[in-house]
């Protein structure tokens, strides 16, 4: 286990969530949303964090792997996979540029909550495009709505939150056909605004997976059902997250 005193806020966040990803109703329902957009073939999760998306894909029978630049995050993700009886070597600490230089391509490239951490998001998006095989699928999620910008974003080392037009513009600089672009997690927007913007305190995420007691379990069950039945099947007018899937044309 990494020493928490040596980690950044972002790494501490990733390591903490790595232990609970497939019991976290928010994470599991986002994995379902992203997984539903995956085409047959190879899948790579770029900036895979705690490895939850990779684990979910492997357990659904996909040929999936993940990469991340943070050694501590990769170690946590590998432990997570191993704990579920999955091959930990499916996740590696390697730079995206190394895969491109090696001439590698994937049928599906996933990047979940990554490009907001990169100042040159256009350059990062170009690399994701390059890794995507012609005819393949690029799936990107990012935090939405700059109106929700708070100290939490600063602590998480975000450079920005996105509007749909901004994310679409990144895709349209390349030979990509946007198949779907939607908000997600409408339910989380009001409490996030009230807690982080007005009180300037971060939401306690442990209610999504860890708080004990019957009331907490009932709340998690109800919220999980909301995401599964409502959020994942309608197109809300706003939300904490944007999900975009696009096909590489050439």
Closest CA to 224 of 20, 16, 21, 27: 27
Mean pLDDT taken over the chain = 88
Q: Are strands 106-112 and 42-46 parallel, antiparallel or unpaired?
A: parallel
Determine the 3-state secondary structure of 108 from DSSP.
strand
Measured distance CA(192)–CA(205) in Å, rounded: 11
CATH superfamily of 4-248: Vaccinia Virus protein VP39 (3.40.50.150)
- Yes or no: say if 147 and 196 are a contact pair by the CB < 8 Å rule: no
Measured distance CA(149)–CA(192) in Å, rounded: 10
In this predicted model, what pLDDT tens digit does every residue of 38-78 receive, in sequence order? 999 999 999 999 999 999 999 999 999 999 998 988 998 99
- Yes or no: say if 121 and 115 are a contact pair by the CB < 8 Å rule: yes
Angle at 227 between CA 224 and CA 228, to 5 degrees: 85
pLDDT at 228: 86
pLDDT at 126: 97
Measured distance CA(180)–CA(245) in Å, rounded: 5
Domain ranges of the chain: 4-248
Determine the 3-state secondary structure of 129 from DSSP.
helix
Measured distance CA(17)–CA(50) in Å, rounded: 7
| Average pLDDT of the segment spanning 107-114 | 98
What pTM does this model have?
Answer: 0.87
State both tokens at 138: 């690029």
In this predicted model, what pLDDT tens digit does every residue of 176-187 receive, in sequence order? 999 999 999 998
Residue 165, φ and ψ in degrees, nearest 5: -65, -35
In this predicted model, what pLDDT tens digit does every residue of 13-45 receive, in sequence order? 665 666 667 778 888 899 999 999 999 999 999
């Amino acid at each position: 286990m990494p020493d928490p005193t040596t980690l950044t806020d972002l790494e501490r966040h990733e390591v903490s969530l790595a232990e609970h990803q497939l019991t976290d109703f928010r994470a599991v329902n986002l994995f379902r949303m992203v997984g539903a957009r995956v085409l047959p073939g190879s899948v790579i999760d770029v900036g895979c964090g705690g490895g939850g998306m990779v684990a979910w894909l492997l357990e659904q029978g996909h040929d999936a792997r993940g990469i991340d630049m943070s050694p501590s995050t990769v170690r946590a993700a590998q432990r997570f996979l191993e704990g579920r009886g999955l091959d930990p070597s499916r996740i590696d600490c390697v730079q995206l540029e190394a895969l491109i230089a090696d001439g590698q391509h994937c049928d599906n490239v996933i990047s979940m909550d990554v490009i907001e951490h990169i100042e040159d998001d256009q350059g990062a998006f170009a690399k994701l495009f390059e890794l995507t095989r012609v005819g393949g699928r690029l799936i990107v999620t990012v935090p939405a709505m700059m109106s929700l910008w708070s100290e939490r974003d600063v602590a998480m080392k975000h450079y920005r939150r996105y509007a749909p037009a901004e994310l679409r513009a990144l895709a349209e600089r390349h030979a990509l056909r946007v198949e779907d672009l939607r908000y997600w997690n409408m339910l989380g927007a009001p409490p996030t605004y009230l807690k982080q913007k007005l009180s300037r305190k971060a939401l306690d995420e442990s209610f999504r997976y860890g708080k004990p007691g019957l009331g907490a379990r009932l709340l998690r069950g109800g919220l999980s059902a909301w995401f599964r039945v409502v959020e994942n099947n309608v197109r809300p007018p706003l939300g904490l997250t944007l999900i975009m899937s696009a096909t590489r044309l050439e």
